[in-house]
Structure 1
Amino acid sequence: MKFLNMNENAVSPIVATLVLIVVAVVGAIAVGVIMDGLSQDVGNQVDVNKIGGSSGEILIAGSTTVQPASELLAKAYMAEHKGVKITVQGGGSGTGVSSVGMGIVDIGSASRAVKDAELGKYPDLQTYQIGGSGVAIVVPDDVDTITGVTKEGLKALYDQTITDDSATVGAVVTDGNITGAAAAGAGTVNVTIYQRSEASGTEETVAKEYLKYPGDSFDNTGAEGVNGNAGVAAAIADGDKDNIRLGFIDYGYVTSNHKALDVDGKECTKDSILESLKGNDNDDSYVSALARPLNYIVNGNPSAIVKDYINFAQSPGAVDSIHEVGMFSIVEFA
């Protein structure tokens, strides 16, 4: 018995010490969890209530239409929020939606609405419209034989690239308007037709909203494919009256090297696009089907800093930045 008692007395201090260590470790972990939760709560309050002093990064990608507006908006926002870094990339509207849906970027940009199929795949997507613009049908500036195009004429051009398996087609021009397409010959001019290579909201506006074209794109035609609004704009500008090229770009990409054609008798101007965005349907408005939104898309509820940036993009303070690239802020027509 004495031997047993001696072992118990010898072991007890060790056991007691181990118990104290375990209690200390568990207590430290518990305190750490509590403090971490408290710090997150405080951090969230700082982000919401004192966003001007917070820091963070925002990645935006998608529509090449929205891209130049986003670049200027990001620059203006970062000037007022020194701790924030915003990176803007292109890729097309389809890329914008899928990238934000997969959590690759914080904001996806699109010059069209989110499709039902996309919502089915990413059900938590939320759309915030920041502005609007219009699609211009353009040829090189020095082309004097063509001043406008009709819906039937434009559709006939893309249809002919299917049957000819070529981007160069014969366009029937009547009173300065492209009214149809036929084999090159008397009464026609040769025109090289362009489309977008990647998934594009600009292309869908023309193909789906305006022409009701099968497949909502021109991917099954022989039209020349070029990446981005900037790519199509450059390709058209490289043509001339002896090398006529025709394509579609956002109005914000129209330069002195392009002629924006009348569409169905309606002028394509900045003022006429704004009239259309306002919902007006008169002689001063552009074709309503070619006016479209500039959208920011997030997956689920945005973080405080992302929401604050979007609020800025929708505010009167964003008007000048969006105007600078030939587009309109949501506050001007909503």
Structure 2
Amino acid sequence: MKIINDTNAVSPVVASLMLIMVVAGSVTFLSGMMQNMDSQTDRVAGASTSADRTSIKINIISSDLAEPAVEPLVQAYNDKRLGVFLQLQVSGTMAVNSNVSIGEVGTGIADIGVSDRLPTPDEMGKYPDLVAQKIGTSGIVVIVNNGAGINNFSKDNLQGFYDRPNPALTAYLMTGSPGIQEAFLQYIGNDSVNPDITAVTGSAGMLNAVKTTPDSIGFIEYNYVDTQEQRGPGINISSLFNESSGIQYTNMTYSNFTLAAASSDVNNSYYPLELAHPLYFVTRGNPSLSDSFIKWARSSEGQDIIEKNGYISYTREFN
């Protein structure tokens, strides 16, 4: 066997072998990298739901009182795939109310807030470019625990439960939704309430409190208790009696709510319109992308969705 001692002859052979090994290793490494990247991309794509990941995001924050209307509006608009994705934050992630909604819009955390009231003078002082646009009207009903054995209340009855201690029923107030509370207290004629009354947060908190407390009473957004399935066992919608007009409201349904709205008569026989209150979209100025969604929500298509989910279109007149 001939042994080659010439190093000049050996070097090209060794170099070629080393080059082949390096290239092969690099191909294997790059192949593994690409597979790993593809896998990671697949996981990210799987996490994306209805939105194109390249869409412009608009953040909307809604108090629980408006969720039944806002969620289907957002879904319908996202389904249009207009290059804009509406990202909705609702009360399931935090205790969202109208105060929070307006505050987050004012500070720039959210692009659109949903509120049951207009911004206050103090809020306008802090955030002078806030703009509110009405999107619909909601109704309030009185709910009572079945254990109370009472299912009809006059304004005087309700005053008695809210302005002084009453051993007959435990009354609840609602915090964070001043539009609802203001409308209810105006209806029963109370300027103030008993400070010892327990306050709960939002419509979901009110429903749970009355459901779990025997002999209790509260007020709530109609769309939260529209059906027996929503109410669950142990909750009734109370009838109401107006002593001044002599009108008895015994069938607090959505159809009667719409008939009352169509009548525009505060003394109609369908539903006490004093308990109706508006809902607003709140923005900072009128940014084009947010405004496009709001204009659509206020169009006939958007308002049809509003009315299919237990609210009244803003286009109906209330006196």
Aligned-pair CA distance for 1:82 = 5.3
* Cross-structure match for 1:266: 249
Aligned-pair CA distance for 1:199 = 4.6
Distance between the aligned counterparts of 1:130 and 1:280, measured in 2? 21
Q: Does 1:151 align with 2:155?
A: yes
* Cross-structure match for 1:47: none
Q: Does 1:303 align with 2:281?
A: no
Aligned-pair CA distance for 1:333 = 4.9
* Cross-structure match for 1:57: 57
SS of 1:286's equivalent? coil
Structure 2 gaps, min length 5: 1-53, 243-247
Aligned-pair CA distance for 1:332 = 5.0
Matching residue within 175, 193, 205 for 2:183: 205
Q: Which amino acid aligns with 1:191?
A: L
Task: Report Cα offsets for 1:160-204 as digits up to 9, x if no partner.
Answer: 23xxxxxxx33xxxxxxxxxxxxxxxxxxx312112243543223
Contact map agreement 1:315 1:331 (CA 8 A) in 2: no
Matching residue within 81, 106, 117 for 1:101: 106
Contact map agreement 2:163 2:190 (CA 8 A) in 1: no
Aligned-pair CA distance for 1:62 = 3.9
Q: Which amino acid aligns with 1:74?
A: V
SS of 2:278's equivalent? strand
Identity %: 29
What do you get for the CA RMSD once the two structures are aligned? 2.6
Aligned-pair CA distance for 1:77 = 0.4
Distance between the aligned counterparts of 1:115 and 1:284, measured in 2? 33
Contact map agreement 1:155 1:211 (CA 8 A) in 2: yes
Change (3 A) 1:59 1:213: farther
Contact map agreement 2:223 2:310 (CA 8 A) in 1: yes
SS of 1:139's equivalent? strand
Q: Which amino acid aligns with 2:98?
A: S
Contact map agreement 2:261 2:316 (CA 8 A) in 1: no
Contact map agreement 1:131 1:329 (CA 8 A) in 2: yes
Q: Which amino acid aligns with 2:119?
A: V
Q: Does 1:253 align with 2:253?
A: no
Change (3 A) 1:274 1:120: farther
SS of 1:152's equivalent? helix
Distance between the aligned counterparts of 2:303 and 2:127, measured in 1? 31
Task: Report Cα offsets for 1:2-32 as digits up to 9, x if no partner.
Answer: xxxxxxxxxxxxxxxxxxxxxxxxxxxxxxx
Task: Report Cα offsets for 1:213-257 as digits up to 9, x if no partner.
Answer: 446xx5x62222222211211222234xxx222111100001423
Change (3 A) 1:137 1:114: same
* Cross-structure match for 1:26: none
Q: Which amino acid aligns with 1:288?
A: L
* Cross-structure match for 2:133: 128
SS of 2:64's equivalent? coil
Contact map agreement 1:95 1:199 (CA 8 A) in 2: no
77-86 or 273-282, which deviates more? 273-282
Aligned-pair CA distance for 1:211 = 3.8
Aligned-pair CA distance for 1:59 = 1.4
Matching residue within 192, 196, 203 for 1:222: 196
Q: Which amino acid aligns with 1:266?
A: Y
Distance between the aligned counterparts of 2:177 and 2:238, measured in 1? 24
Distance between the aligned counterparts of 2:177 and 2:279, measured in 1? 16
Q: Which amino acid aligns with 1:203?
A: Q
Aligned-pair CA distance for 1:105 = 1.1
Q: Does 1:290 align with 2:275?
A: yes
Q: Which amino acid aligns with 2:200?
A: V
Aligned-pair CA distance for 1:121 = 3.3
Q: Which amino acid aligns with 2:212?
A: D
Q: Does 1:238 align with 2:206?
A: no
Distance between the aligned counterparts of 1:288 and 1:332, measured in 2? 12
Structure 1 gaps, min length 5: 1-53, 162-168, 171-189
SS of 1:236's equivalent? helix
Change (3 A) 1:199 1:133: closer
